Amino acid sequence: MPPPKKRAARKSLSQHAWITLDGGFAARQCLVQDISATGAKITLDEDASQLPGVIRMAFARDARTGRSCQVVWRRGKSAGIKFI
């Protein structure tokens, strides 16, 4: 039996960031609640169920920066993302 996967250590952050959808044209502000080397928990102003499966997150509004992310869970206004 393989050993259980150990989750990457998360750091509480509470910092504003930007997520971009549709190739970088639809920027929305979010709050990064916590972050790790592999992903983050974000909170939006609206229901997270409307997020597409892949987004880009950056700590500046400039769409050329940031990281591509896969949305792995959605609950209310919060979502979990995995860096890809």
Instruction: Specify if 69 maps to a domain.
Output: no
Among the listed residues 41, 43, 40, 39, the one whose alpha carbon sits nearest the alpha carbon of residue 29? 43
Instruction: Specify if 10 maps to a domain.
Output: yes
What is the reported pTM?
A: 0.85
For 28-76, the DSSP string reads EEEEEEEE-SSEEEEE-SS-GGG--SEEEEESSS-TTSSEEEEEEEEET
Q: Supply the pLDDT for residue 61.
A: 79
Instruction: Specify if 52 maps to a domain.
Output: no
Domain count, the chain: 1
Q: Supply the pLDDT for residue 51.
A: 92
pLDDT tens, N- to C-terminus, the chain (84 residues):
666 677 778 899 999 999 988 766 778 999 999 999 999 999 999 999 989 999 999 998 775 778 999 999 999 999 999 999
Instruction: Specify if 57 maps to a domain.
Output: no
Q: Supply the pLDDT for residue 40.
A: 97
